[in-house]
Structure 1
Amino acid sequence: MGFLDIRNVTKSYGSVEVLHRVDISAEEGEFLVLVGPSGCGKSTLLNMIAGLEAISSGDIAINGRVVNGVHPSKRNIAMVFQSYALYPNMTVGQNITFGLEMHGVPKPERDKALAQVAKLLQIDHLLDRKPAQLSGGQRQRVAMGRALVRNPDVFLFDEPLSNLDAKLRVDMRTEIKKLHQRLGRTIVYVTHDQIEAMTLSTRIAVMNKGYVQQFGTPKEIYDTPSNLFVASFMGSPSMNLIPAKVAVENGAPHVVVMDAEGQARLLRLSQPALSAWSGREIVLGVRPEAITDPEGADRKSLNVQPLKNRVTVTEPAGSDTFVTTTLGGKDIIARMRADASVSPGEVFDFAVNMDKAVAFDPVTENRIA
């Protein structure tokens, strides 16, 4: 059992089931991220943890106590909303301590808690201002302060950064991570942004169409996606998914892929078990950083395969250069060093780290190796 246990939970609206047998467990102090596209059920699940939505079946337990049917105010949780939900007629200080006042906490205790939280969030100079006088980032800090001051068992964040501009999102992401490291409290965080999910979490639940597609650490999700949806959704740029066929050469499994000129190319696989798929179609998954120039290839890898192929597009991106070529009739992206000398139209010597490649069944869409 974990500190937060979601056991076989479903949610239905009438005859329509929108969440299907969700099983997730988070230990105390973990940063759990629920990530997925719009409409996948992640906010519904968060609202069920908060008690804002009823559970159709299954159990949710917090700190060993089943909270099905328990009123939100009795769950010892605190929620930070996407819209901040600040009272416009109250000062920052009043917004932060309003919940404590409603619970009858004496003023000296409220003032002490306010001072601690304001210092932690670096908003002590804003306590007498009204929300209309604050920037988006400052409002977000106030919303977080209102949650922190309650000292809950679990913090729930519902897409808290989606209203901020790109630079402020990055800054606030860092602040939230620092906050988690200082407090060591359990956080459940909903986002559709897979970069947020990867950078903030200790564990991720990737959701789609009401199902948990994969639950694991960021490294597990990124390196060994359980299916084609997770492979394509997680990562920026996303994993290259290349139609290929398995062939056994000299006793070892290889993949046959068609290059930009329509010629068959052979790449040795690193998974011996794929010999059983000889003659069958697969989808080969390779992250962009596993396709590079020979000088930039991973020196520790035991299986870097050379591949001559024509370059179609180059995109300098500061610290990296993204190079587009064609394999298996699809555009694929290679991630190279900023100073890699690559030009559109040339035939280039790519290096493919096949130790990092994974294989998917094109029928079931599940990873097979």
Structure 2
Amino acid sequence: MSFLDIDNVTKSYGNVEVLHRVDIDVQEGEFLVLVGPSGCGKSTLLNMIAGLENITGGNISINGRVVNDVHPSKRNIAMVFQSYALYPNMTVGQNMTFGMEMHGIPKPERDRKLADVAKLLQIENLLDRKPGQLSGGQRQRVAMGRALVRDPDVFLFDEPLSNLDAKLRVDMRTEIKKLHQKLGTTIVYVTHDQIEALTLSTRIAVMNKGYVQQLGTAKEVYDDPANMFVASFMGSPSMNLIPAKIVEDNGALAAEITDASGRPVRLRLSRDGAGVRAHLERRVILGIRPEAITDAEGADRRASNLQVLGNDVAVTEPAGSDTFVTMTLSGKDCIARMRADAEARAGAHFDFTVNMDKAVLFDPETEERIDR
């Protein structure tokens, strides 16, 4: 049985249903990330787990106990908010121990837990300061420390890094991951940042319009997206989605697209199952990640289906360790991710190498995968 079980959960405001039959099981020690655009329902779901929002339908269970009607203070969860929610008139130490004091935990035990967590988070020297004297990163550590001292069943993080600058976000991301690996705690973490989702999670629930679009590991969600929304939302730059037609080419199936000049180009498919064959001579969407389009030297030598695609280069964008190259395929901009010293030049013709083992296909009407 899962440690946190979200079973057929719905949420409505009046006649408007905003969360639709959500089913997610979280094992003990797992790091689940809820990711999606603003308004997709991820924070609402987190608040329902916390007890801050009522459930319209379904059940939420924590450690085998249904908590639908259990007060937030009785659920043994700890929440870290985007705004930190620290008491400005209390010291760091007082902020971290206040919850334990309210629950009647004796002072010696409070002091012991405070010392252990402060050492873990390396904030021993901040315990006598007020929140107004701290940086954003320090406040976030204090907010995390306040959750950790309680030793809850489940930690809930609501976009905890969104107020930090870019470098500090990366640093704190690493700290949170180290902390999870060290403590083995069960975490549900909400973010709209798909890089956070990919780097932190053991599993990801990609949400949109109140539905869970896909639930899986970072690799599954990134390499094997269930639909066009997941394909385009996860990854930076996002997956190239190219209009194509399935054709037969010397006995094999291929995706026919057009180059920058409008000439037809055929790329042989690695997958030709029943779902693909059912779309023979029909329009599809060919999905290819930017890193699967590169130059010959940068191509993955383990791939079984590398194909050359000659095309004109529209734009090159050096980005330090990589160069992003834009070209036109089937009338749409398509991005290739190359090595920093790749020889592609704007305005020139270039032989791209495409790893078709990484290609996926979608139905343009339903936007669902057809090659699984």
Specify if TM > 0.5: yes
Q: Superposition RMSD on alpha carbons, in Å?
A: 0.5
Which residue number corresponds to residue 354 of structure 2? 352
Name the % identity.
78
What's the counterpart of residue 332 of structure 2?
A: 330
Take 2:323 and 2:370, find their aligned partners in 1: how far apart are those partners? 31
Alpha-carbon distance in 1 for matches of 2:304, 2:57:
49
**Cα distance in 2 between the residues matched to 1:103 and 1:182:** 26
Counterpart of 1:307 in structure 2 is 309
- Within 5 Å, which residues of 2 pair with 1:280-291? 280-291=282-293
Q: Are 1:183 and 2:183 an aligned pair?
A: yes
Aligned to 1:214: 214
Mapped partners of 1:237, 1:113: distance in 2? 43
Equivalent pairs, count: 369
Give the distance between the partners of 1:4 and 1:39, measured in 2 at CA: 23
Instruction: Map 1:78-157; keep pairs closer than 5 Å.
Output: 78-157=78-157
Amino acid at match of 2:72: P
- Establish whether residue 365 from structure 1 lines up as the match of residue 367 from structure 2: yes
Aligned amino acid, residue 342 of structure 1: A
How far off its partner does 1:275 sit?
3.0
Deviations 1:268-319 (A, max 9, x none): 0001212332100000000000000011111011100100000000000001
Q: Using the alignment, how far apart are the partners of 1:45 and 1:55 within structure 2? A: 9
Shift of 1:227: 0.5
Mapped contact 1:291–1:350 kept (Cα < 8 A): yes
> For the Cα contact (< 8 Å) 1:246–1:255, is it kept in 2?
yes
Distance 2:28 2:43 in 1: 21
**Per-residue CA distance 1:188-209 (angstroms, 9 max, x = gap):** 0000000000000000000001
1:341 aligns with 343
Q: What is the rounded CA distance, in whole Å, between the counterparts of 1:310 and 1:251 in structure 2? A: 29
Q: Which 4+ runs in 1 deviate beyond 4 A?
A: none
Give the structure-1-normalised TM-score: 0.99
Q: Deviations over 1:163-192 (max 9, x none)?
A: 000000000000000000011010000000
- Secondary structure of residue in 2 paired with 1:277: coil
Residue of structure 2 in register with 1:257 after alignment: 257
Give the corresponding residue for 2:40. Answer: 40
The DSSP-based 3-state class of the residue aligned with 1:344 is coil
Amino acid at match of 2:272: P
How far apart are 1:342 and its partner, in Å? 1.2
Deviations 1:122-146 (A, max 9, x none): 0000000000000000000000000
**By how many angstroms is 1:251 displaced?**
1.4
User: Secondary structure of 2:314's partner?
Assistant: strand
Long gaps (5+) in structure 2: none
Aligned-partner SS, 1:156: strand
The equivalent of 1:197 in structure 2 is: 197
Q: Partners of 2:267 and 2:344 in 1: how far apart? A: 22
Do 1:81 and 1:157's aligned partners in 2 also have CA atoms closer than 8 Å? yes
Distance 2:303 2:27 in 1: 34
Q: Distance in 1 between matches of 2:272 and 2:229?
A: 25
Give, in angstroms, the shift of residue 230 of structure 1: 0.5
Distance in 2, matches of 1:328 and 1:63, equals 52
After superposition, the C-alpha distances for 1:322-347 in whole angstroms (9 at most, x for unaligned) are 00001011001000001111110000
5 Å-filtered alignment, 1:215-294, equals 215-273=215-273, 274-294=276-296
Question: Is it true that 1:10 corresponds to 2:10 in the alignment?
Answer: yes
Q: Equivalent of 2:298, from 296, 299, 318? A: 296
Q: Give 2:164's aligned residue.
A: 164
* Secondary structure in 2 matching 1:8: strand
2:312 aligned partner, one-letter code:
R
